[in-house]
Structure 1
């Protein structure tokens, strides 16, 4: 199964078996679905990786200064949320320059999208 986010109005999941060899988090795909999804599940007709130059509103490259939020130990680089697990794994500190790829995710608690890495 693969979870997807097209934009703030369309997200869900689909079975990619037989359509995509080893998709990775952050891949931008071109897909066609059969009809509308049911309870977030979409039936896949076709799928392929998009060309390398193609961009998407759900993925963005970022670089900037990390601002930690204590005591929860999560942080932000501008509007990009950095999870505490990443901060701990990489031993990051406030003021460090951080560079990466942000992938928008759907925050069910807030019922909207949050930029989450």
Structure 2
């Protein structure tokens, strides 16, 4: 899943995808900046997911869109949620994935 955000007159891409680390299924959310690395370093972001009275938070600097999403994923530079925890956060019968990823972007001075 890919979502585009406009913030501070710039564009950011939020990625959410499933993959495996070894044999463990995981989900990962991360942000990329539509610009070069130097511009990306002007921003910081945080992402969080939660449920059942718990939450998981990630904070980082967005990677440039010039870095492939696969490179960012392979470096594990984002919010990584193990499948069993994602299902716990989803509530219900733990059979259906219903996650709400919330986040914030701010500009460093």
Q: Tell me if both proteins adopt one fold, taking TM over 0.5 as the criterion.
A: no
Greater relative contact order (Cα < 8 A, sep 6+) = 2
For normalisation by structure 1, the TM-score amounts to: 0.28
Q: Which has the higher helix share?
A: 2
TM-score, normalization by structure 2: 0.30
Is the radius of gyration larger for structure 1 or structure 2? 1
